[in-house]
Amino acid sequence: MSWFETAFGAHYPLLYAHRDAAEAAAAVGALERLAPLGGDPCLDLGCGAGRHLAFLARDRRQVVGLDLSMALLVAAGATAAAAGAALVRGDMRRLPLRDGRFGAVLSLFTAFGYFGPLREHAGVIAEIARVLRGGGHWYLDYLNCAKVRRELAAADAPRRWRESGPLAIGEERSLAGDRVVKQVLVRPRPGQAAAAAALGVPAAGLAYAEEVALFAPDELDALAAAHGLRRAAAAGGYAGESFADPEAPRWLLAYRREERS
């Protein structure tokens, strides 16, 4: 089983409980300012538990959320129903969606970079370009790779333990060449075995290593351009921080799909 099949189970939203609806609204607002998100329909690629769906559905007729994780799609059900969004189970490497269907595709909160070094993502980018119509945009909300690389190279990142609901979570990040690796241990807190089991966390706990690609912006630009996607705009965070700021909290990138011939 690949790490991303274990990591994005029913327990995942508790690991990132601070990544909430307010932050989702800020992310959608920031991307809308980057390049017009008018594209209808729009695809939330790797939608997880669906926290962005309501904000995407506010100004457009059709929103589709796609994810590989059945547990997270189930969690997204109520939000999607309220927003009138459709949910699809699928793999971003082989999208079960027809060519040129979408005006916008969004990869939000690092829903990208899971398949090894950046060059291994050509297939995902080809799929995004295939389902976008000419003039539509791909929006990527990613970690600031340069900052992550600098911080992890400068200091040891000790394992940190924290608690969320019935879970105790241990995390340790390190650099591994062109990837950042986070070793994750998730265990039931004392007396919380039943509640943790309901989230798919057994008494013995879950252990896995998240791996996310680190790259320079021009490497992504080149890979995207090879599939007809040209960078249109960039920002450094949800509050409109500058992309050029080395301390920018995030990388927000918008790529425009060339017209189809």
**Rule CB under 6 A: is residue 68 a binding residue for ligand SAM?**
yes
Whole-number Å distance between alpha carbons of 88 and 85: 10
For ligand SAM, the binding residue among 34, 35, 37, 108 (CB under 6 A) is 108
**Rule CB under 6 A: is residue 85 a binding residue for ligand SAM?**
no
**Rule CB under 6 A: is residue 213 a binding residue for ligand SAM?**
no
Whole-number Å distance between alpha carbons of 69 and 200: 13
32-60: b (≥16 Cβ within 10 Å) or e: bebbebebebbbbbbbbbbbbbbbbbeeb
Kindly give the interhelix angle for 122-131 and 217-225, rounded to the nearest 10 degrees.
50
Min. distance of Cβ 45 from ligand SAM in angstroms? 7
**Which range, of 34-42, 86-94, 96-104, 188-196, touches ligand SAM by CB under 6 A?**
86-94
Whole-number Å distance between alpha carbons of 164 and 68: 24
Min. distance of Cβ 191 from ligand SAM in angstroms? 29
**Rule CB under 6 A: is residue 143 a binding residue for ligand SAM?**
no
Min. distance of Cβ 55 from ligand SAM in angstroms? 11
Tell me how far CA of residue 165 lies from CA of 5, 17, 103, in angstroms.
Answer: 22, 10, 38
Please report, as ranges, the residues that interact with ligand SAM according to CB under 6 A: 4, 8, 19, 46-48, 51, 67-69, 72, 91-93, 108-111, 114
